[in-house]
Amino acid sequence: DQQVKQNSPSLSVQEGRISILNCDYTNSMFDYFLWYKKYPAEGPTFLISISSIKDKNEDGRFTVFLNKSAKHLSLHIVPSQPGDSAVYFCAASAPGGGADGLTFGKGTHLIIQP
């Protein structure tokens, strides 16, 4: 049972355009959502997060949108740059006695075309 789903294994975007990565979740107990970026042979790097009490969080070129009723979140990157080419993971956390390990999606490989 996959609780966090990233249905696009890969996405190709032209440099300078907007990249939109999508994520759906099924567990209504999730209350904190994060996006991680991963380069080959490195560990995931934290990018941006959002709490369930918000519907938008922005940090420079990166904006995350949360639609709780649809159990959907998206990451927007504007403008896309070549260094953004990486695998992006959506992750979620649910409260519960201090247990706050993350549940990850399978990732989306973003390719920025020059």
Partner 1 sequence: EAGVAQSPRYKIIEKRQSVAFWCNPISGHATLYWYQQILGQGPKLLIQFQNNGVVDDSQLPKDRFSAERLKGVDSTLKIQPAKLEDSAVYLCASSLDGPYEQYFGPGTRLTVT
Name the 3-class secondary structure at 57. strand
Q: Is 60 in the site for partner 1 (CB under 8 A)?
A: no
Q: Is 97 in the site for partner 1 (CB under 8 A)?
A: yes
Contact 87, 108 (CB under 8 A): yes
CA gap 88, 45 in Å, rounded: 9
Q: Is 58 in the site for partner 1 (CB under 8 A)?
A: no
Q: Is 62 in the site for partner 1 (CB under 8 A)?
A: no
Q: Of the candidates 22, 26, 23, which has an alpha carbon nearest to the alpha carbon of residue 1?
A: 26
Q: Quick one: which of 68, 71, 93, 111 contacts partner 1 (CB under 8 A)?
A: 93
Q: Quick one: which of 19, 24, 44, 86 contacts partner 1 (CB under 8 A)?
A: 44
Binding mask 4-23 for partner 1 (x = CB under 8 A): x-------------------
Phi, psi dihedral angles at 52 (to 5 degrees):
-70, -10
Q: Which residues pair with 67 in a beta bridge?
A: 72
Enumerate binding residues for partner 1 (CB under 8 A). Answer: 4, 32, 34, 36, 41-46, 49, 89, 91, 93, 97-107
